[in-house]
Amino acid sequence: MLTKVMQDTFNAQIQKEFYSAYLYLSMANHFEQKNLPGFAHWLKVQVQEEQGHALKFLDYIHERGGSVVLQAIQQPPSEWKSNLAAFENVLEHEQLVTASINKLYEIALAEKDYASQILLQWFINEQVEEEKNASDIIAQLHMIEDRDTAVLMLDHQLGKRGGE
């Protein structure tokens, strides 16, 4: 059985994961409007990952006999001044999620909730990957500096990302 503290913090994390999906869906829309379908595709795959993360927390709460309480999701931004700015936003957001997951782990330690610690280890490892992916794209965007041909080549590469 989950403690109330763990249940409440997991419910808050579900909201954060769904907001992540909503943010990336807004970004995908932004790139579709800029006629960069590869960037949009990469972000749509990210949407699916974030929804999966939310559902993983939701299922876990149920498995542990807890109660899920869905919270409102705020409206994300809809425009970014550049491709680089959008992916810098991705990295900043993933860093916030990482901090939140780390805080959850600290709470699980304090609550002596060993099962939750195991679940959260998976998310900690996942966040390393999420931050690296965003950092890699930012590095590529810095290299190409909005050169049209290079942007189109990167768009093509991002469009090849497989779904989860």
Give 82-109 pLDDT, tens digit per residue: 999 999 999 999 999 999 999 999 999 9
* Full set of structural domains in the chain with CATH: 4-158 (1.20.1260.10)
Identify which of 148, 6, 11, 21 has the alpha carbon closest to the alpha carbon of residue 76.
Answer: 21
Mean pLDDT on 16-32: 98
Residue pLDDT, tens place only, 104-127: 999 999 999 999 999 999 999 999
Instruction: Mention every residue, 6+ apart, whose C-beta is less than 8 A from residue 116.
Output: 2, 6, 10, 60, 64, 104, 108
Rounded Cα distance between 141 and 143, Å, is 5
